[in-house]
Amino acid sequence: MRILVVEDDKDVAGFVVKGLREAGHTIEHADNGRDGLFLAASENFDAIILDRMLPGGIDGLRLLETLRAQDNTTPVVFLSALGQVDDRVKGLKAGGDDYLTKPFAFAELLARVEALTRRGKSDGPTTKLAVGDLEMDLLSRSVRRGPQKIDLQPREFRLLEYLMRHAGQVVTRTMLLEGVWDYHFDPQTNVIDVHVSRLRQKIDKPFDLPLLHTVRNAGYMLRSEEV
Amino acid sequence: MDINVQPKHGLVTRHPSAAKPRPVPRPRAKPLIRSAGIRFALAYAAVFGVSAFALAFSLWYSTVGLLQRQVETAVRNDSVAISQDYLAGGMPALIAAIHNRLADPVDVERIYLLEDPTGNVIIGNLDHWPRGINQIDSWYQLPVSRGGVASVALLRELALPNGDQLLVGRDVRARAELRNVLRDGLLWALGLMCALGVLGALLIRSLFRRMMHNIAATTRAIARGDLTRRIAKTGDGDEFDELAGIINDMLDRISRLMDGVRQVSNAIAHDLRTPITRARTRLEDASLHAESAEDLQSAVERAMLDLDGIVAVFEALLRIAEIEAGSRRAAFAAIDLAPMLHDIDELYRAVAEERGLFLETSIAGSLPIMGDRELVQQAVANLLDNALKFSAHGTSISFIARAEDHVTEITIADRGPGISAADRNRATERFFRAESARSTAGSGLGLALVAAVAQLHNGTLTLTDNQPGLRATISLPGRVKEGK
């Protein structure tokens, strides 16, 4: 994927660029708002990682507003030290697709960027999701693996749906909290781990091939071995 | 580690000598018009005076007008009667009629004068024809002479067909005097009113000053840095008492916030240095003594965890500060807590079961409040986090939410070690950790956040003994449902 990183801090930018390249992406980097806007408007990217406070007269919010005013719908992840609820709301209102507060874990950033680009591609409503022999019917709200029907609680269904929609990608605990429970803070208790392990009991335990994997220091990933 | 950091741009309250206090301008003797008391009093006196004057003037005007009209009517009736006598009987009848009228001892104010065209008086009670009458059938108020006595009369001239001139009128001297008495009385009253207005102004000003003095002295002392001062209430329950109450509440809040700032800066100095030191030590130790790449790797990872912990503490602190600043009240909306609480219950139930705990939940069907859903969610989650953390295997946690008398109460009670009565008051301070909690993970910010959220919603967080365990109750003012 082609990703634009607009970030003025040399260390942070270097780290992000290096990490994304290692993950197999093509990166352009701008260290001020003016260059960032020029690149974003003149070239095609799959995602933009955008700092809010930038030198060069154009800050992240204005950059994004200008971009959206030109009907450019490239997914944008804000990466900002401004972490108050208001800042977050402002970022999302300006057209941001996700908002990550500094300091951040690279795994979290990578997971969120990849989740966004995937979201951008799937147009139109899906009625069926499948990962390996695990199938989910969104209309009848039923799940089966191979020939066997799996009974899930409503919340387990939503959790699995989220994981299936992001199959093959790392999904962090925070993303699950936000996406499945609409929580915007980290509880001290390992609530997500418990729910994921319960889901795992239902979809993986009776079968030979595990689908739901734990990714160390990052989160979870749903994938069939052959993908 | 014993750290005692004095804030650089310190709080003047504690160290009045450290920073030179800004000179507070003393109120000088002001021009009278700059006194609010005088202005109020003058405005009041002006309004009072104008309305009193308007009332008196209209009274005067209508009284005088009425008297005038009465006289005019009497004269007109007289004229008509006399004219009819003349038409019926000619000059002799006219003279007889005037004669009769003049002889009437009851109404001595009647005036008649009949002259022939050459100016000779035929009959009448005026000494001579008054000067100034030049139109027939018009009203004249003129000085006249009756039997040598000067007076004032309202007169009307009638022309008779034979060329004689008849003057009919009324002596109005008494009435004119009455009018003058009335006018003088009103003028005196007006003067008195002005004097009273000025007196009232001075009185109101001194009252104002006395009441303001109390508030001014206190606020001036506070401006100089003595935040312990409060405005004394008179106990009358009047507007000034109310104002004093409001200002005192504001001062309480300011001093709480300042205490908070002080406490936080001390706490940051102490509680954040500890994990930062730990992380630094680990990294330094690894760089000096690590014998293998794995050692280094694990030291780095542990240091990262330490840093994440520090970041979490920072975020919690900032969030509490954000909540306490009150700015999120702008985002308050009418919400029902019940569905959100059911979600939390479902989220935590799995964890409780995993740990062999019984979560006994009872949530009312509808819990309407005005507030911030996300903040209440986080507050309740914090309380459940605590309850789970301190509960022993096999015990139960109760999670009750109900609405009573427009108060929504969310209670979370556990059977853990609880908080001793001595510590309970301090439990909501930032970074406070009870002795029994020191060995467990945590930052000591959880309850501080819950208390801040409750306060933001004009509610309270109450911690009581669950015998054994802790019972934490968030009470929030409920929203009265529409249509109820």
Contacting residues of B for A105, CB less than 8 Å apart: 308
Highest mean pLDDT among A74-78, B235-239, B404-408: A74-78
Residues of chain B in Cβ contact (below 8 Å) with chain A: 301, 307-308, 311-312, 315, 318-319, 322, 327-328, 331, 343, 346-348, 350-351, 354, 374, 377-378, 381-382, 384-385, 388-389, 441-442, 446
Question: Which candidate, A141, A139, A163, places its Cα nearest to that of A150?
Answer: A141
Look at residue B25 and tell me whether its pLDDT is greater than 70.
no
Q: pLDDT of B470-480, one tens digit each?
A: 999 999 998 76
Q: pLDDT of B156-166, one tens digit each?
A: 888 888 888 88
Interface touch B374/A184, C-beta < 8 Å: yes
Q: Indicate which of B306, B318, B351 best probes the interface with A, i.e. most A CBs within 10 Å of its own CB.
A: B351
Q: Indicate which of B345, B347, B348, B447 best probes the interface with A, i.e. most A CBs within 10 Å of its own CB.
A: B347
A201 Cβ under 8 Å from any chain B Cβ: no
Interface touch B388/A189, C-beta < 8 Å: yes
Residue A98 φ/ψ, nearest 5 degrees: -155, 160
Band of residue A49 on the pLDDT scale cut at 50, 70, 90:
very high
Interface touch B351/A103, C-beta < 8 Å: no
CA distance, residue A178 to nearest chain B CA (Å): 12
The nearest alpha carbon in chain B to A178 belongs to B374
| Tokens 């100034």, located at residue | B132
Look at residue B114 and tell me whether its pLDDT is greater than 80.
yes
Residue B267 φ/ψ, nearest 5 degrees: -65, -40
CA distance, residue A44 to nearest chain B CA (Å): 35
CA A194 – CA B388 distance, rounded (Å):
13
Average pLDDT, integer, range B109-132: 83
* Cβ–Cβ under 8 Å, residues B430 and B446: no
The nearest alpha carbon in chain B to A191 belongs to B351
Please report the pLDDT score of residue A195 as a whole number.
93
Average pLDDT, integer, range A209-213: 91
CA B472 – CA B476 distance, rounded (Å):
13
Interface touch A191/B315, C-beta < 8 Å: no
CA A172 – CA A180 distance, rounded (Å):
12
Residue of A4 and A83 predicted with greater confidence: A4
A190 Cβ under 8 Å from any chain B Cβ: yes
Contacting residues of A for B380, CB less than 8 Å apart: none
Query: Which residues are CB-neighbours of B436 under 8 A, at least 6 positions away?
Result: B417, B419
Residue of B412 and B436 predicted with greater confidence: B412
Band of residue B273 on the pLDDT scale cut at 50, 70, 90:
confident
Q: Which of B89-93, B340-344, B393-397, B446-450 has the lowest mean pLDDT?
A: B89-93
A183 Cβ under 8 Å from any chain B Cβ: yes
Look at residue B290 and tell me whether its pLDDT is greater than 60.
yes
Interface touch B347/A181, C-beta < 8 Å: yes
The nearest alpha carbon in chain B to A193 belongs to B351
CA A23 – CA A117 distance, rounded (Å):
14
* Cβ–Cβ under 8 Å, residues B347 and B378: no
Please report the pLDDT score of residue B96 as a whole number.
87
Q: Which of A127-131, B6-10, B382-386 has the lowest mean pLDDT?
A: B6-10
* Cβ–Cβ under 8 Å, residues B363 and B338: yes
| Cβ burial B50-60 (10 Å sphere, 16+ → b, else e) | eeeeeebeeee
Q: Which of A63-72, B27-36, B342-351 has the lowest mean pLDDT?
A: B27-36
Please report the pLDDT score of residue A75 as a whole number.
93
Please report the pLDDT score of residue A7 as a whole number.
93
Please report the pLDDT score of residue B2 as a whole number.
43
Average pLDDT, integer, range B114-131: 83
Please report the pLDDT score of residue B35 as a whole number.
67
The separation between CA B285 and the C-alpha centre of its own chain, rounded to angstroms, equals: 64
Please report the pLDDT score of residue B141 as a whole number.
84
The nearest alpha carbon in chain A to B441 belongs to A188
Three-class SS state of B425: coil
Average pLDDT, integer, range B75-97: 86
Tokens read off for A16: 């992000």
Three-class SS state of A30: strand
CA distance, residue A40 to nearest chain B CA (Å): 32
Cis peptide bond upstream of B143, omega within 30: no
Residue of B228 and A30 predicted with greater confidence: A30
In sequence order, the β-bridge partners of residue A115 are none
**Range list of β-strands (E), chain A:** 2-6, 26-30, 47-51, 76-80, 98-101, 128-131, 134-137, 142-145, 148-150, 171-172, 212-215, 219-222
Three-class SS state of A144: strand
CB atoms within 10 A of CB B275: 17
Please report the pLDDT score of residue B13 as a whole number.
41
Q: pLDDT of B26-71, one tens digit each?
A: 555 555 566 676 777 778 778 877 887 788 788 888 888 888 888 8
CA B200 – CA B41 distance, rounded (Å):
7
Band of residue B439 on the pLDDT scale cut at 50, 70, 90:
low
3-state secondary structure string, B122-181?
EEECCCCCCCCCCCCCCEEEEEEEECCEEEEEEEEEEECCCCCEEEEEEECHHHHHHHHH
CA distance, residue A194 to nearest chain B CA (Å): 6
CB atoms within 10 A of CB B211: 18
Please report the pLDDT score of residue B382 as a whole number.
92
Interface touch B350/A195, C-beta < 8 Å: yes
Look at residue B301 and tell me whether its pLDDT is greater than 90.
no
Interface touch A194/B374, C-beta < 8 Å: no
In sequence order, the β-bridge partners of residue B166 are B114, B158
Residue of B23 and A220 predicted with greater confidence: A220
A202 Cβ under 8 Å from any chain B Cβ: no
Q: Indicate which of A194, A196, A217 best probes the interface with B, i.e. most B CBs within 10 Å of its own CB.
A: A194
Q: Are strands B358-363 and B396-404 parallel, antiparallel or unpaired?
A: parallel
Please report the pLDDT score of residue B28 as a whole number.
52
Q: pLDDT of A151-210, one tens digit each?
A: 999 999 999 999 999 988 899 999 999 899 888 888 888 899 999 999 999 998 888 888
Look at residue B484 and tell me whether its pLDDT is greater than 50.
no
- Nearest by CB: B315 against A83, A155, A195: A83
Average pLDDT, integer, range B336-346: 92
- What is the ipTM metric for this complex? 0.84
Percent of chain B at pLDDT above 70?
A: 90
Query: Which residues are CB-neighbours of B43 under 8 A, at least 6 positions away?
Result: none
Band of residue A45 on the pLDDT scale cut at 50, 70, 90:
very high
Query: Which residues are CB-neighbours of A74 under 8 A, at least 6 positions away?
Result: A40, A44, A45, A46, A47, A48, A67
Query: Angle at Cα B266 formed by Cα B321 and Cα B453, nearest 5°?
Result: 25
Interface touch B307/A103, C-beta < 8 Å: yes
Look at residue B359 and tell me whether its pLDDT is greater than 90.
yes
Please report the pLDDT score of residue A43 as a whole number.
92
Please report the pLDDT score of residue B480 as a whole number.
62
| Tokens 């002295």, located at residue | B217
Contacting residues of A for B374, CB less than 8 Å apart: 85, 184-185
DSSP state of A131: E
Contacting residues of A for B441, CB less than 8 Å apart: 188
CA A47 – CA A117 distance, rounded (Å):
6
Q: Which of B188-192, B247-251, B464-468 has the lowest mean pLDDT?
A: B188-192
Interface touch A83/B318, C-beta < 8 Å: yes
- Nearest by CB: A194 against B308, B319, B350: B350
* Cβ–Cβ under 8 Å, residues B450 and B383: yes
Look at residue B482 and tell me whether its pLDDT is greater than 70.
no
Percent of chain A at pLDDT above 70?
A: 96
* Cβ–Cβ under 8 Å, residues A52 and A30: no
Band of residue B438 on the pLDDT scale cut at 50, 70, 90:
low
The region, left, alpha or beta by phi > 0 then psi within -120 to 50, assigned to residue B469 is: left
3-state secondary structure string, B332-369?
CEEEEHHHHHHHHHHHHHHHHHHCCCEEEEEECCCCEE
* Cβ–Cβ under 8 Å, residues B159 and B165: yes
The nearest alpha carbon in chain B to A192 belongs to B347
CA B129 – CA B114 distance, rounded (Å):
9
The nearest alpha carbon in chain A to B347 belongs to A191
Among A residues 33-92, those touching chain B with beta carbons less than 8 Å apart: 83-86
Gyration radius from chain B CA atoms: 47
* Cβ–Cβ under 8 Å, residues B164 and B122: yes
Average pLDDT, integer, range B293-308: 87
Look at residue B391 and tell me whether its pLDDT is greater than 70.
yes
CA B445 – CA B449 distance, rounded (Å):
6
CA distance, residue B295 to nearest chain A CA (Å): 18
The nearest alpha carbon in chain B to A103 belongs to B311
